[in-house]
Amino acid sequence: MIPAMLPKTRGSVAGVLLTAAVVACCPATARADAGIPMLPVTYQTMLFFLLLVIIIEMIYLQARLKPPIMRTLIAVTTVNAATTGLGFPLAWVTYKILDSWAGFPGGQSGVFSDMQFVPLWVCQKLFPDWEGTHGQVWLIMAMFVTLLIPSYLLTRILKSWVFDWYDLLRYDGDIKPAILVANRLSYLLLALTGCMLLFRTFKTP
């Protein structure tokens, strides 16, 4: 019994150390889930969304699996901080790929600072005859949700693997369904919030 548990114990320690290294080397990025860098928000506002994601996932996992509350808090916070280490590079790569194709006005210097306008620019590139945001802000919101999909798929895979492999919640049973639902809920929040922010920004009175 004990020898069988040792690999997960060592893996858990290794995972914590790896997360700590990511946070130490990239303190500015350790503040959000992988999808949050794609949100049309300011740098400071992202911390607020990190807290929302942690709260939502923690409440759901606590109600579904009923592990010790501090263990849930530590596990959810650690995993979301770690996935952010990949979230910002993913957003950067997405921006670069789209910029090489669409030629964003912000150029290379616009990474993250121009994320608010990326859905708008992509819409203008895909639909040359598009007249802008007048009554068509829904198209910008749909593009934002589409651009959020890669982050969702990456986070879905990573979170289910990390929680299961490192046994962060010490749960006896299949934990993946609960992790996938929690991740889905958090990304639903991100999608709805991002769409609301874009609507407020681009909807003409």
Threshold 0.85, pTM exceeds: no
User: pLDDT of the chain along its 205 residues, tens only?
Assistant: 333 333 343 444 344 334 434 433 333 332 336 677 677 666 667 778 888 889 999 999 999 999 899 999 999 998 888 887 677 788 888 888 888 888 888 666 666 677 778 888 888 888 877 766 655 788 889 999 998 888 898 888 988 888 888 777 888 888 889 999 999 999 999 899 889 988 888 876 5
Q: What is the pLDDT of residue 39?
A: 75
Question: Looking at residue 202, what is its pLDDT?
Answer: 82
Locate 36 and state its tokens. 């949050």
CA distance 156 to 124: 30
pLDDT at 43: 60
Per the structure, the count of domains in the chain is 1
Res 184: pLDDT: 93
Predicted confidence at residue 114, as pLDDT, reads 74
Best CA proximity match to 180, nearest among 164, 203, 192: 164
Quote the CA–CA distance of 37 and 115 in Å, as a whole number. Answer: 8
> What is the separation, in whole angstroms, between the first and last Cα of the chain?
66
Rg (CA), the chain: 19
Q: Which domain holds residue 107?
A: 2-202
Annotate 8-31 with three-state secondary structure. HHHHHHHHHHHHHHHHHHCCCCCC
